[in-house]
Structure 1
Amino acid sequence: MNPVPFVRALLARNPRTVWLFAVLVALAAALGIAISAQERALRQGSARAADRFDLIVAAPGSQTDLLMSAVFLRPAQVELLPGPLAHRVLSDADAEFAAPLAFGDSHGDSPVIGTTAAFVAHLSGGLAEGRGFTRLNEAVIGALVEGEIGAALAIRHGHADEVAAGLDADRAAETPDHDRDHGHAGQDGHHHEEVVITGRMRPTGTPWDRAVVVPVEYIWSAHVMGTGHPPGTERIGPPWQAELMPGLPAIVMKPASVADAYGLRARYRSEVSTAFFPAETLVELYAVMGDATRVMLGLTLAAQVLIVAAILAGILAVLDLQRRSFAVLRALGAPRRYVFLSVWLYVAVMVLGGALAGLPLGWAASQLVSALISRETGVAFAATLGGSELAMAGLLILAGFLLALLPAWRVYRQPLVEGLR
């Protein structure tokens, strides 16, 4: 006997109940799938953001803080690498190039980063429009920064959130008299000399898409630290003079080979400096994040099983209302195994439909979260469904199929006479 027509009739008899149970299963599946997909998107997005930063050299301190400052452009208090040592790092022959990074200023919500034109080209793989900066008061903007080529930008001391909180005024009040007298920053926190946009970077999918990049000499000059060149020199970029070199928060190095990379890291790991691979620091963060993710996924799986169990309890109540139908079937000659299979299929269809619907629902939820995080951080995240998400849906389906045996067995064991009363 074919149980499909009978199962179809059962599903059509209480469509609202069927849809309710299927939606609950879909939500349970979507929760775990969204967590798993989002965790992988965070890993991939952050790894891409650090891809152009082979080796970072800085003053001793937290590697995580340095990573967040240099790669993700998050405000952090870091010590400055002394000028003579910074000059030595920037002049090291074992690196294809070394670029200084200087932060601390902002334009609106965009951080202002001081570096070299060579690093801008390395970071974005060339410019989308315009040219690189060649003078002290020129700037290249990220792909998401508003502005046209030739427009002037006003730069403020401090990060955007500090300015909004009123901390920038406090800094201006604490600025030495000679700083204000030389016209680098007034009480309003603005640099007196604006920068002119000369180019726009290609999209990188990193926080640098929202950055305003200027010559490092502009940051030094704005903070009355000199330019690394003799007074009166208008040239920007390397080489700088060691005795005139200001301090730097970080230096990005691109080693010429793998052997040179490890040699440079060992060379600049000392009492006065630190050197690290951003990829290694990210791996450590991934390990912490992975432990938390495993706990979350374990709790989610337990919640999914409990939800399915609760749904089955509701299905048992629905089946009790239909026990006369099953008893009539048996009285008409249907074997017990037919009734057992019909009930099991009835529950399995709801579990299977809900779990399959949970896949796109979880992916959509993860995409929404990725978009929100991308908007806040500037890092491009793309959530995708992989083998782990399919495995989670499969485990939920398997658990549902096993739990569906309980109501099927209960109907199977129900005495015929009791069902006909």
Structure 2
Amino acid sequence: MNFDYSLKVQALREKLLAFFDEYIYPNETVFHEEVERNRANGNPWVPTEIIEQLKLKAREAGLWNLFLPDSTRGAGLTNLEYAPLCEIMGRVSWAPEVFNCNAPDTGNMETIERYGTEEHKRQWLTPLLEGQIRSAFLMTEPEVASSDATNIQTRIERDGAHYVINGTKWWSSGAGDPRCAVYIVMGKTDPDAPRHAQQSMILVSADTAGITVKRPLTVFGYDDAPHGHMEITLENVRVPASNILLGEGRGFEIAQGRLGPGRIHHCMRLIGVAERALEFMAKRALSRTAFGKTIAQQTVTQERIAEARCMIEQARLLTLKTAYMMDTVGNKGARGEIAMIKVVAPNMACQVLDWAIQVHGGGGVSGDFPLAYAYAHARTLRFADGPDEVHRNAIARLELARYTDPAVASRVERPITRS
């Protein structure tokens, strides 16, 4: 495995870092102030002018759709090449949208690119790639433990040339944006089929009759306007049968194809979150004095800074290995690495952020620094795209499977014992 940056990635990385210095960091406060002005005017669910302005600059700079491997529509980067760029974008929560590299749109675009028909791509993928519309992914439900997706109860029933959808979804991220024009909905087409063949995915226009966006959900008190995480009801929602992706019973297959890249993109961004948290922690520790010496001179702070650096580097290396595996053996072959990094990265980021907040004292939990908001987001990623417990179970099953074959077990190294 060679993790050196290619010349193309080096150039994009330098360009992206310069873009952050010139446009992203100076406008962090501008973004939040604009959202709060919209809130004070009675509607926080309005696209911000600052992001729209920066999108134009990002496109002019050639920093657009970097996530998509298809070189005819995206930058043609591998997962390994995209990793250091995605990490940079993760340093500011709203920055990925500037480059059209934000979740859930990236996962939805990859889903339509991989599993959609040419008509699906014309109707939905092209405007998503152009940044003209937004999208949401509707899988999780409030009435069941959706960590086991076989529990999902939303029905997708065939009725002639249409499917009729009934159910309730929540944590539909991105659905608060008024530009959200399409949902990818997961539901049951055949509850009597084998367990993993009951589910299907279907494209649903957000303006279809029978859809009600009931409310935004908050994350530790944040509503993430204008993006939002919405609870949505679908009551007798009729969509053309041609909107089904791949066909009935293929929902789990699509989910695995979609969630692999989605999971690692979250992890890439979390490395950037943790790097910035460590930067804030070190600068704050050097600038504040307590009990006769700087906080940076306190042994406990030095231990935490050192441990944070170790944890970030370890998580980055596993992220890069996972990206390499996805590129070389595919998402299925890399499923163990994907599960491992999905556990490691959010927990690492939460810990580093917690230490950074501690160094900042009261300021750390305030809105004066980005740490509290970043922690709220990082903590949710221990649930999103599968909770820690599900991924740990998957890792354990893969590990135990190595020992179920006696031939494999005989080759496993055992510690030398001496009498």
Tell me which interval the TM-score lies in, with the shorter structure as reference length: under 0.3
- Structure showing greater Rg: 1
Q: TM-score, normalised by structure 1?
A: 0.21
Q: TM-score, normalised by structure 2?
A: 0.21
Q: Comparing both chains, which one has the higher relative contact order based on Cα–Cα distances under 8 Å and sequence gaps of 6 or more?
A: 1
